[in-house]
Amino acid sequence: MSQTMTFGGLLEEVEKLPLEEQDMFKEILSKRLMERRRNQLFDEIQKARAEYSAGECYPVSVNDLMDEIVK
């Protein structure tokens, strides 16, 4: 059976840990977040490359982009 913990409940549980374990928790969480962001960026790059290859987008100059935004 899976239990769901609230954000506040999680914070309370982490605060019960010894300081060294809180530091380890912070480091592990930080590294996992970096990895998730890296994976998300990789996915976005792959999607952009696929769109470009399919002709769904094309390179433009800054001036052309600004002209399109102002329209």
**C-alpha neighbours within 13 Å on the C-beta side of residue 21:** 6
Residue 2 covered by a domain: no
Residue 8 covered by a domain: no
Phi, psi (degrees; rounded to nearest 5) at 58: -150, 155
Structural domains counted in the chain: 1
pTM metric for this prediction: 0.69
Residue 9 covered by a domain: no
The predicted-structure confidence for 52-71, as pLDDT tens digits, reads as follows: 999 998 888 999 999 989 98
The predicted-structure confidence for 19-50, as pLDDT tens digits, reads as follows: 999 999 999 999 999 999 999 999 999 999 99
Residue 32 covered by a domain: yes
Question: Cα–Cα distance between 29 and 27 in angstroms, integer?
Answer: 5
Residue 1 covered by a domain: no
Residue 62 covered by a domain: yes
Residue 10 covered by a domain: no
In which domain, by residue range, is 33 found?
17-70
Which residues are CB-neighbours of 60 under 8 A, at least 6 positions away? 68
